[in-house]
Amino acid sequence: MALVGIDVGGTFTDLYYSRDGASADRICKVPSTPQDPSSGLLDSLITAEIPLDDLDLILHGTTIATNALIERQGARCALVTTKGFRDILELGRRDRPSFYGLTGLQDPLVPRDRRYEVDERVNHKGEVLVALDEDEVRLLGEALKEDDVESVVVSLLHSYVNPAHEERIAAILRDMEPNWAIVTSASVIREYYEFERTSTAVVQAYLQPLMTRYADNLLSRLGDWGFSRQTLIMQSNGGLVPVPQLPEKAAHVVRSGPAAGVTAAARIAAEAGFSRAITGDMGGTSFDVAVVIDGEPEITPATNLDFRIPLKQSMINVHTIGAGGGSIAWIDRGGILQVGPRSAKARPGPVCFGHGGTEPTVTDANVVLSRINADDPIGLTNLTRLDVEGAREAMKRLGAQIGLGVEETAEAILAVVNQNMAGRTRLLSIERGYDPRDFALVIFGGAGPLHGAAIIREVGIRTMLVPPSPGVLCAMGCVVADLRHDLSRTVARRTESFTADEVDAILAKQAGEGSDKLREESISIRDIGVRHFAEMAYVGQIHTLRVPIERGWDAARLSRAFEETYRNEYGNTLGEIASTVVSFRTVVEGLREHKKRDMPAPERRPLVEPDIVRPVYFGGWRNSPIFRRFRLEPGMVIEGPAIVEQADTTTVIEPGMTGRIDAYGNILVEIA
């Protein structure tokens, strides 16, 4: 069963082709086509000459949802709320964009004149306090017609307990205009917190018409190409859904690309024998880090897409800092060197690209120090050689301000950017109470393997793992992922008030719903995996803990599980204070057939001769061997300093470090 993974990013569309679902047979990178992303996707299939006959599945990650949000290119949308609460979407819950600075921009996805109220009220127990006025709803429908909207969100207070009014309004409006995409908040998440739920439903309605068009377009293009079997899309939670479900899952694919990368990195780390990993993806403008424990990427229940646009969906927890190859170095008013967060982006790009950039970037520093091969730049189809002299000139200008020479300035830029990334990586593990030294760093993205060695040195991590195709890891992640549905329901009651039967009934219903969805999808799966969780807190606390639970548990067993989880997380418990169950969650996964590899550690074998030896700067120019990646085989060991070059990235092995090729073709870099 041959598979293709395709990640459509902002700049490049990456493809990963595997005949057996385990190892790469072909990879390729083509420019993305933001006007119509499915066209770039087709280009990649054609460029890579993917044979159609034995192709079973296309698995696909995309930034189309993210871009539509950032550029505000989504649907013209209206919002209907309970009387007195139409401004919830704009008000949020009292905050500001940043710690310091009192100014900023807010741009709600639905402006105030398209937010309507209806007279109705349900309380927190689901009891109707004010009945719905259906005539008022019909009048409202007329106003919406005048507004010429494409989609309508209905979000009423406490609809997660009793969605009847939301559903009735949706039915009336659907009758009046069948072309509206109508989204009720309880159908998107069955949880309390009116602002977060409303915002999530609005994101869904804002994206739904766009995703409907995209899904139709994609399937028809693939059909024209001759492919009519299944196509799956990567969701932000690291699980897949079939393309026909994409419209209803529009809000679930906002972090599709990063999720795919972490999913792949988690799989690779587990296969290579590392149960705990930090994944680091460094591209042109940002460095994305995530934590993986026992092969599972850490999941967050919510994220902020923009100022006051929270999205409450389970997704892989990816943290971003503004550190990438394009990050610009500058001198602050105190005369201290800083790097980023401003980026030279794709245009003009680093000085060495020769597109008119004048401010030195991280990539320029790598070029000046000869870590990047100026004669064979990656990922740039229109450039044959990087402008080393231009980069050196820019370094010279910057260095003059702080009394440093060209190479010293470049090395200082790397020291600062590496420290920024190492700091975020450390905080990520410390915030969770882990010792960073227990982790392996899986580093990828075009710029990642240039910096990984310095990051592990700074953080005190023992091993850096560079996967075989670090530049197309997101595409690979699509291939190794499973199907997944997350279900949740707010109950918000004291733990002691639940009987084992009631808990069992709720969990059974969620598991049933998820399994039904999987069956409808008719994708071939090996098994269905079901996991249950309770979101719990001590009475009075705002933040909850996710506690793994099982069907059949009663109140006492739930309480015990909560205390164990609390103790693991915080080192103590609060004694006799009662706990509450805020919500029950169920994760249903359709586990696909994955070819499992379990290879013994390779025998040591002699290293090939380097392709070339060139001077590379490590505190001074040192003759360093350069290897092309495809010549390295399991069992070989490289002593640093050394550089490994491949089509999609460059790996630096610092002096005092060794790089060992493991059975799976990963490079494991360790401090000797």
Partner 1 sequence: MDPITLAVVRGALEQIADEMDLHLIRAAISPIISETNDCAHGIYRADTGETIAQGRFGLPVFLANMQFTVQNLIEHVRGSGGFRPGDVWILNDPYLSGTHLQDVVLVAPHFVDGELFALLASTGHWMDIGGAVPGGWAPSAQEIHTEGIIIPPVKLYDEGKLNTGLVSMFTRNVRLPTQIEGDLFAMANVFSVGRRGLDSLIARHGRDTLSACISEMIERSEKQMRSYIAEIPDGVYHCEDFLDNDGIDDKPIRIALSLTVEGSSMHFDFSGSDPAACGPVNLARTTTQSTCFIALKHIFADVPVNGGAFRPTQFTIPEGCVVSAAYPSPVSGYLEPIGRVFDVVFGALAQAIPQRTPAPAFGTVGVVTVGGRQPDTGSYFVAVFPYPGGYGAHARGDGLVNGTPPVSMANFMSIEMSEHRYPLQFVEYALREDSGGAGRYRGGCGTQYRFMTRSECVVSALGDRVDHVPFGIAGGKEAAPSVVQFGIGGREMTPPMRSKVEKQRMHAGDWLAAASPGGGGFGDPLERDLEGVERDLNLGYISRRTAEEVYGVVVSEQRRKSGALRYSVDSGASARKRARMRGDQGKTAATG
Q: Could you say which residues in the range 553-572 bind partner 1, by CB under 8 A?
A: 570-572
| Minimum separation from the CB atom of position 94 to partner 1 (A) | 4
- Give residues 37-56 in contact with partner 1 (rule: CB under 8 A): none
What x/- string results for residues 299 through 338 when contact with partner 1 is judged by CB under 8 A?
---------------------------------xxxxxxx
CA distances from 477 to 61, 262, 302, 318, 496 (A): 9, 7, 22, 15, 42
Query: Which residue number, 42 or 157, has a Cβ lying nearer to partner 1?
Result: 157
Instruction: Write down how long the chain is.
Output: 672
Which residues neighbour 302 within 8 Å (Cβ) at sequence distance 6 or greater? 196, 310, 311, 312, 313
Rule CB under 8 A: is residue 143 a binding residue for partner 1? yes
CB of 308 to partner 1, least distance (A): 9
Question: Packing angle between helix 164-176 and helix 134-147, nearest 10 degrees?
Answer: 50
Are 421 and 282 in contact, with CB atoms under 8 Å apart?
yes
Query: Which one, 6 or 362, has the nearer CB to partner 1?
Result: 362
Nearest approach, Cβ of residue 660 and partner 1 (Å): 27
Which 387-406 residues touch partner 1, going by CB under 8 A?
402-404
- Residues in contact with partner 1, counted by CB under 8 A, come to a total of 74
CB of 352 to partner 1, least distance (A): 22
- Rounded-to-integer distance, Cα 473 and Cα 281, Å: 9
**Positions 167 through 206 that interact with partner 1 (CB under 8 A):** 192-196
The 3-state DSSP class for residue 77 equals strand
Q: Is 408 in the site for partner 1 (CB under 8 A)?
A: yes
Q: Among 24-32, 153-161, 164-172, 586-594, which window interacts with partner 1 (CB under 8 A)? A: 153-161
DSSP state string for 371-399: SS-TTS-SS-TT-SS--HHHHHHHHHHHH
Min separation Cβ 191 and partner 1, Å: 9
Cα gap 305→299, rounded to integer Å: 16
Q: Which residue, 48 or 416, has its beta carbon nearer to partner 1?
A: 416
Smallest gap from Cβ 130 to partner 1, in A, equals 11
Tokens of 495: 């733990």
Q: Cα(442)–Cα(81) distance, rounded to whole angstroms?
A: 46
Residues in 212-231 that interact with partner 1 by CB under 8 A: none
485-524: contacts with partner 1 (CB under 8 A): 492
Report residue 456 CA to chain centroid gap: 22
Nearer to partner 1, 100 or 382 (CB): 100
Phi-psi label, residue 540: left if phi above 0, alpha if psi -120 to 50, beta otherwise:
left
Strand (E) or helix (H) holding 212: helix 194-225
Is 158 a residue that touches partner 1 (CB under 8 A)? yes
419 touching partner 1, by CB under 8 A: yes
How far apart CA 427 and CA 282 sit, in angstroms, is 17
Q: Does 600 bind partner 1 (CB under 8 A)?
A: no
**Piece in contact with partner 1 (CB under 8 A), picked from 60-68, 166-174, 420-428, 624-632:** 420-428
Rank residues 212 and 541 by Cβ distance to partner 1 and give the closer one.
541
Supply the minimum distance, in Å, between the C-beta of residue 644 and partner 1.
26
Write down the residue that tokens 């003759």 correspond to.
623
Interface with partner 1, residue 60, by CB under 8 A: no
Cβ closer to partner 1: 416 or 587?
A: 416
Q: Which of positions 63-122 make contact with partner 1 (CB under 8 A)?
A: 84-88, 90-106, 111-113
Cβ-based neighbour number of residue 68 at 10 Å: 19
Using the rule CB under 8 A, which residue among 205, 416, 442, 669 binds partner 1? 416
Closer residue to partner 1, CB minimum distance, 393 or 408: 408
At residue 511, φ and ψ (nearest 5 deg) are -60, -40
Instruction: Please report the DSSP string for 34-68 in residue order.
Output: TTSHHHHHHHHHHHTT--STTEEEEEEEE-HHHHH
